[in-house]
Amino acid sequence: MSRRSGLASGLLLGSALDALLADPRRGHPVAAFGTAAARAEGRLWAPSRARGALFTLACAGPAAAGGWATQRLAGRRALPGAVLAAAATWAVLGGASLAAEAAGISRALAAGDLDDARRRLPALCGRDPAGLPAAELARAAVESVAENTCDAVVAPLLWGAVAGVGGLLGYRAVNTLDAMVGHRGMCYERFGWAAARLDDVANLVPARLTALLAAALAPAAGGSGRAALRTVRRDGAAHPSPNAGRCEAAFAGALGVSLGGTNVYQGRAERRGTLGDGPPPGPADLDRAIRLSRLITAAATVLAAAAAYLLSARGPRPARRARPSARPVRAPHPRELGRAGGMRGILGAGTTARAGILGAGTTARAGILGAGTTARAGILAAGTAAGNP
């Protein structure tokens, strides 16, 4: 394994670990971070953007700095770097858990068990599941799969490829803070502003990459790539989020369904634009959304690993050694020392004046003195200045 392949190998291995192991029920690193952030919120909360910015920096900054510090400790050794990147990638990815939770809702809807589907929904999104009919439960699950395919898979992989372990941990910290305090409401309208805006910036490119991958892979999920792109261009901006709207519009077009509408969060209704042209999604459409999400996960993993490998290959190159001169070195004739052009003749022989005189078996000053004069007197006698041989 080469040095530059350590991060790329870690991204691939970490994604494989997430697919095989998913997230642990207890002791997950992200959950531990959330607990620490909740304590910091209790101490720093105030209805102030400045206090919210301080809270965001105090929580996300150490996470990113810790990732970069541990990566620096690993140095250029490929194996420790790959193990570190794999552990960080597994910790921040949530693709397997996302698919598993959505599949549970799909099975409950297919069996007609709405109570079980409502019980499972809060694991995917923050809207109030009480009283939601089957069509609304399916829509909520599809929208959550679309948005979280970016948040839990594509974005952390992309940041890991660009910024290493610090990018992986820093992004997950920002996204977690947005989920905690970034939503609108009386309590967090000002305090959560910094976390929400930072999360918007962090997902700007990943969300659009997610939409492009959804369009490219739509035929493998029984959908249309052209419809996905058309829906993103037409409806992507109708969503209140500048990033989630692109992901949800791409899934709506790819699956041929309509998303968006009125959502209820903690008793507060929020009206969103309609995305797509088809009918409301059902359990079968949720299954196709899960399949599309898994395909995007695989493609994003390969792209991130390739990007990490290529970016690390652009490091500084070692300096080249100077090649020795191909011209042979000729020892000066003793008579050349007494001539006015002696210095020039020695230089023409392919060496410096001092080296040439030393080659004659004496130091420069001793050789010239051996010619019967001091160096300055000998050169002046030859008709030239001492500083201009």
In this predicted model, what pLDDT tens digit does every residue of 13-41 receive, in sequence order?
999 999 999 998 888 999 999 999 999 99
The per-residue pLDDT for range 98-119, each reduced to its tens digit, is: 999 999 999 999 999 999 999 9
Q: How many CB atoms lie within 10 A of CB 376?
A: 12
Q: What pLDDT is recorded for position 353?
A: 38
pLDDT score recorded for residue 349: 40
d(CA 41, CA 38): 5
**Which residue(s) pair with 268 in the sheet?**
265
pLDDT top residue among 321 and 97: 97
For 91-148, the three-class secondary structure string (H helix, E strand, C coil) is HHCCHHHHHHHHHHHHHHHHCCCHHHHHHHHHHCCCCCCCCCCHHHHHHHHHHHHHHH
- Least confident interval from 102-116, 217-231, 358-372: 358-372
State phi, psi for 192 to the nearest 5 degrees.
-90, 5
Percentage of residues in the chain having pLDDT higher than 70: 78
In this predicted model, what pLDDT tens digit does every residue of 226-258 receive, in sequence order? 999 999 999 999 998 999 999 999 999 999 999
Least confident of 1-5, 20-24, 43-47: 1-5
Residue 324: its pLDDT value, please?
Answer: 55
Percent of the chain with pLDDT over 90: 68
The pTM assigned to this predicted structure is: 0.79
> How far is it, in rounded angstroms, from Cα 376 to Cα 373?
8
pLDDT (tens digit, 9 = 90+) per residue, 134-192?
A: 999 999 999 999 999 999 999 999 999 999 999 999 999 999 999 999 987 778 999 99
Mean per-residue pLDDT of the chain: 84
pLDDT in tens, 327-347: 555 555 555 444 444 444 443
